[in-house]
Structure 1
Amino acid sequence: MTLVAPDPARSAPLSLREQADVRDRWLTQRLLDVLPGLMDRADIDLWLVIGREYNEDPVLATLLPATWLSARRRTILALHRSDDGVTAAAVSRYPVGQFLPAWSPEDAGGPPAEESQWAEVRRIVEQADPRRIGIDVSESFALADGLSHTEHRLLVTALGPYADRLVPAEDLVVGWLETRLPEEIRALHAANALVHEVIAEAYSPAALVPGTTRATDLAWWIRQRLHDLGVEPWFHPSVAVQRAGVPLARERGTLLPAVAYDAVIQPGDLVHCDVGSSSLGLRTDTQRNGYVLRDGETAAPAGLRAALHVGNRMQDLTVEALALGRTGNEVLARARATAAAEGIDGDVYSHPIGSHGHGAGPAIGRWDEQGGVPGAGDYPVHPDTAYALELAVRLPVPEWAGQCVRMALEEGIALTRDGVEYLDGRQTELILIPPG
């Protein structure tokens, strides 16, 4: 069971069967309403997605019915753009959901199954006579580079002279993976709301006892809690601690918390977590900051609160730069330039999110590439997309004798033609953790 529903107003959990119904309905709608425009934008007439069992193209999972947890034997999907929309056919040993069955080895007769399967692909290409046949090869995006060497070789052999029409489907793949339906965005609101609830619970006496609980204990508690709710993480949660008297240390070219990863969490600590969940084929990626009150304290030190507010300002500047048509590198450069003009010391390393955690789409910096990301950073921003707005700022904390703190933030956002919306809001105040 999962608590994530496509309608955030719905409180009842969805069964696995209900989730499958939702995902299949989304797939049908995406094939009808989203894919034709994406194929036109990428100038692709026929898209071939090919994968073998246990060696699937990453895109394949987003095209298969929900009851298919992987490819079966060799699964070939042919999506042809015509005046009537997109014809979706499956050259597969088994029926593939709403795809038209285009081949059966029993009906082929004569040649071995593999040979007749590739012959059917050739027949589809000859009948469609496409100008440009998109295949999943890409230098810039791993998610668009799923066609294996063997499958590529067999395809080229099968197509003969039509192989000259093969082109990288990079733009189409990225567009397919990054574009979200309105209902998917509503589901992301609900998914992020659940993660926010779990983190709030983790920062409460239900999970965190200062002086006893270690950072690693809390990370495992979060993972177990998500699992118990039927919402699996797509990476192991992390918990980091900063405290007065333990300055940031330079590691891997940047300043990071130096408190041991398995340290016992103490009153006066700044606690940071990074959590990602999976539900309905969509991902979340969230960071939250909490402060462990000392005895007698009712609020976090003003310097820590100021650091969070500066981080919020850095979010504002990045969102303002996130304009349709700009590349990820242009968004990064604008955000960093305006931040520098305001005296903010920070880094931006935001990324698309959706079908995958670190999803396909424009890379808006990386923590170790603040000058721009070659390839992925040159991709433009499109509407109806979702991102993990991830960044960090650094500034001194007077109450910590001027020691520098690194305030790292990450929130889910969706970008439509109406602008940017936060997925279930953003953190603007530190979560206060009782002293125990």
Structure 2
Amino acid sequence: MRGPTVLLTCLINSWTAFTVVQAHIGTAPGKTPEVQTLPSLREQARLLDRWTEERKALIPGLLRKYGVDAWLMSQREYAEDTVFWALKEATQFSARRRTTHLFLADPVGGAPSSYSWVENTKAVWTELRQILATQQPRSIALNTHSEIAFSGGLHAGELDAVIIGVGDEWKNRFVLEPMLGVELVATMVKSRLPWYQKLMETSWAIIEEAFVSVIVLSIDGLKKGEYDRATRDIEWWMREKIQFLNYTTWFQPSVFILTGKGFPAADDPSVSMDDPRAPDRPVEYGDLIHTDFGVSALGLNTDTQHIGYVLYPGETEADVPKGMIEGLKKVNRLQDIVKSNMKIGMTGNEILKASREQMRSEGIQGKIYCHATGEWGHSAGTVIGMTNLQDEVPVLGDLPLLKNTYYSIELFAEHFVPERNRTIVFPQEEDVYWDEATNSWEWVYGRQEELLLIRTPAIDREEAPTEL
């Protein structure tokens, strides 16, 4: 049996003549997603460095906003501060030696507002003390928060080195201001949006191709033993597709069967949409298929969850169980509720409370677990619920919602589907961005409003190729 990469590639090539399949493309009105080609690596580096410089220019204003005079970051190679990745040049793959940054809110005497050192001697501390003596900052922020990753990236050993390096005079001026790291990483400069939209379109396109090509093959595929016809094959096909396109990802794609016998009931407290794995079994006619998928490129990360329905041979859109269509509409309504409650300046916990009160008033059962995305998959910013924390999220949920960032509206609604005589969870996840023109959150690419229909003509197994 051939390796999985060759096998899955051959599956697509070998079955072209057999898979006269048509998905219901355009699961968002007017959208037909296509894979977007990335520019050359050199051009990508130019884009990344331009975005980084735009963001660095915001730092003095951030310091003034939060009443801090200076911001000091220091790290060693392979022990980087989390914020380092938002400040580095595109061709840097790690910090070098000791890499130290100092930012000033209001430098005096015509001095620059930022300094950087790449050094492996004590010279960095000598020069740093000289600058501090001239600038006399009353407060120097360090990233030492115990709960917020984007504000707590200063390693313990490096903190000791900083304290010794600057001396007692400046040690007493160290402060913790967590919003500096959070807001710097969270802020998405405007010129990033067109490429983020392209990444999102690519993610949609790969999902639809996987559902069309690979799920069909998993149902009607090759002779027993030549293809195990399971959800894991679809997941790995998606990984290989990403790699082929020179994209990458920040998490392993998941594909699972919402209507599978082994999937927990919606009211089961063990259900976790962070890893809702159903048994690895063949996809069957009448299955409701779900994927959680994201692509990464250009320092950006997407996060998307879509649902597809596998038609029986000869079925049309009119044959889709009405309960499944209603389930998708219900989760779309829950998306609207959360998006409408995402008011700038409110905390994630306040948004969660308002959203859950509204969903209860409308008779919707489900869970909300939204997060910032973009620079990281789970990026800097407030958290609006977690799967196991539906009343409030300590610390992260108390952060304010910021403008000019991207968010994944991630959640699920429960719906009783009479045609299956059971309650099914309907997960959805789409990314939004803050639009200054409309003063509101807008979908980055769109959102799924119709089930992705997978048409599966019956295929005689004896006609399947025995050699791949």
Pair 1:151-2:158 in alignment = yes
Q: Which amino acid aligns with 1:368?
A: N
Give, in angstroms, the shift of residue 363 of structure 1.
0.4
Q: Any gaps of 5 or more consecutive residues in structure 2?
A: 1-32, 222-228, 458-468
Q: Indicate whether 1:423 and 2:444 are aligned.
A: yes
SS, match of residue 212 in structure 2:
coil
SS at match of 2:241: helix
Aligned partner of 2:98 in structure 1 is 74
Using the TM superposition, give the Cα deviation of residue 258 of structure 1 relative to its aligned residue in structure 2, in angstroms.
Answer: 8.2
Corresponding residue number in structure 2 for 1:99: none
Determine which of 116, 131, 135 is the counterpart of 1:90. 116
- Secondary structure of 1:130's aligned partner: coil
Assess if the C-alpha contact under 8 Å between 1:242 and 1:258 holds in 2.
no
Is the contact made by 1:216 and 1:261 (CA closer than 8 Å) also made in structure 2? no
> Within the alignment, does 1:318 sit opposite 2:343 as a pair?
no
The DSSP-based 3-state class of the residue aligned with 2:213 is: coil
Pairing partner for 2:195 from 187, 197, 212: 187
Q: 1:358 aligns to what?
A: 378
- TM norm structure 1: 0.89
Q: Is the 8 A contact 1:208 1:218 kept in 2?
A: no
Deviations 1:119-140 (A, max 9, x none): 2222222222111111111123
Q: Is 1:214–1:262's contact at 8 Å kept on the other side of the alignment?
A: yes
Distance 2:96 2:217 in 1: 48
Of residues 124, 128, 131, the one that matches 2:131 is 124
The answer to whether 1:290 aligns with 2:314 is: no
CA contact (8 A) 1:244 1:400 kept: no
State the distance in 1 between where 2:378 and 2:187 align: 14
Question: How far apart are the structure 2 equivalents of 1:18 and 1:347?
Answer: 41
Q: Secondary structure at the match of 2:416?
A: strand
Provide the rounded CA distance (Å) in 1 between the counterparts of 2:35 and 2:264. 43
Deviations 1:287-316 (A, max 9, x none): 111011112321221101100000000000
Structure with the bigger RCO (C-alpha within 8 Å, sep 6+) is 2
Identity of aligned residues (%): 33
Alignment of 1:126-145 (within 5 A): 126-145=133-152
Partner of 2:349: 329
- Letter of the 1:226 counterpart: I
Q: How far 1:255 sits from its partner (Å)?
A: 6.9
- Structure 1 Cα separation of the partners of residues 277 and 130 of structure 2: 63
Give the SS at the match of 2:126. helix
| AA in 2 matched with 1:29 | E
Specify whether residues 12 and 433 from structure 1 end up closer, same or farther in structure 2 by C-alpha distance, changes over 3 A only.
closer
One-letter identity of the residue aligned with 1:153? D
Aligned AA (1:49): M
The answer to whether residue 404 in structure 2 is matched with residue 404 in structure 1 is no
Pick one of 19, 38, 43 that aligns with 1:18.
Answer: 43
Q: Is 2:340 aligned against 1:340? A: no
Structure 1 unaligned blocks of 5 or more: 1-7, 94-112
Cα distance in 2, alignment partners of residues 9 and 261 from structure 1: 31
Flag the 1:90–1:259 CA change in 2: closer, same or farther, 3 A: closer
1:379-398 alignment, distance < 5 Å: 379-398=399-418
Does structure 1 conserve the Cα–Cα contact (< 8 Å) formed by 2:35 and 2:201? no
Q: Deviations over 1:337-363 (max 9, x none)?
A: 100000000110000012111111100
Tell me, yes or no, if the aligned pair for 1:91 and 1:121 is still in contact at 8 Å: no
**Contact in 2 for aligned 1:205/1:434 (Cα 8 Å):** no
Preserved contact between residue 391 and residue 410 of structure 1 (Cα < 8 Å): yes
CA distance in structure 2 between the partners assigned to 1:85 and 1:119 by the alignment:
17
Runs of 4+ in 1 over 4 A off after TM superposition: 8-12, 83-86, 244-247, 255-259
Give, in whole Å, the separation in 2 of the partners of 1:414 and 1:85: 36
Q: Cα deviation per residue 1:214-236 (whole Å; 9 max; x = unaligned)?
A: 11000111111011111101011
Partner SS state of residue 205, structure 1: helix
* Counterpart contact for 1:56–1:146, Cα < 8 Å: yes
1:253-291 alpha-carbon deviations (Å, 9 max, x no partner):
337798843111111111100112211111111111101
Distance in 2, matches of 1:339 and 1:55, equals 44
Match of 2:271 among 234, 237, 254: 254
Q: In structure 2, how many angstroms separate the alpha carbons of the residues matched to 1:9 and 1:397?
A: 32
Question: Could you tell me how far 1:89 is from its partner in structure 2?
Answer: 1.2
Contact 1:346–1:392, Cα closer than 8 Å, also in 2? yes
- Cα contact 1:282–1:355 (8 A) shared by 2: yes
